[in-house]
Amino acid sequence: MSTSKCAGCGKTVYPTEKVRAIDQDWHKGCLKCTICGGSLNLKNIESYERKPYCRSHRPDPKRGGGVQTAHGTGAPPVGDYNTAAHAQPSTTYDEE
C-alpha cells in the first residue's frame, strides 16, 4: 500500500481519503482556497503557481497578481497600470 503526504497539512494521506489536485495529494478537508479558506473540490478548484484558489480569488497576472519577482523586476508594481500619472496627453482640436 502506497501512502503520500498531504500538500495542505503534511500528514499521511491514505488512498481511501486522497484527492489528487495540482499534481499533489490532499485530504478532502485540506483542499481549500489559499485566500479565503473556502472548501474546494475537483469541479471548482483553480490553481496558480501550484497553489489552490477558488474562482473568486485566483490571481490574475494581467492585473498584477503574482507576476512580480522577489527583486521587483519583471513587472510594474501592483496598481501601476494605466494610471493617470502615466497617461499621455490627448490631442485636442479646436472647433471652427
CATH architecture of structural domain 1-53: Ribbon (2.10)
Structure confidence at residue 52 as a pLDDT band (50, 70, 90): very high
How far is 32 from 87, CA to CA, in rounded Å? 40
Q: How confident is the model at residue 59 (pLDDT cuts 50, 70, 90)?
A: confident
pLDDT at position 20, please?
Answer: 93
Q: What is the mean pLDDT of residues 37-57?
A: 91
pLDDT of 56 reads: 87
pTM: 0.59
Alpha carbon distance 6, 49 (integer Å): 17
**Which CB contacts under 8 angstroms, 24+ apart, belong to 38-45?**
45/21
55-83 per-residue burial string, b: 16 or more CB within 10 A, e: under 16: eebbbeeeebeeeeeeeeeeeeeeeeeee
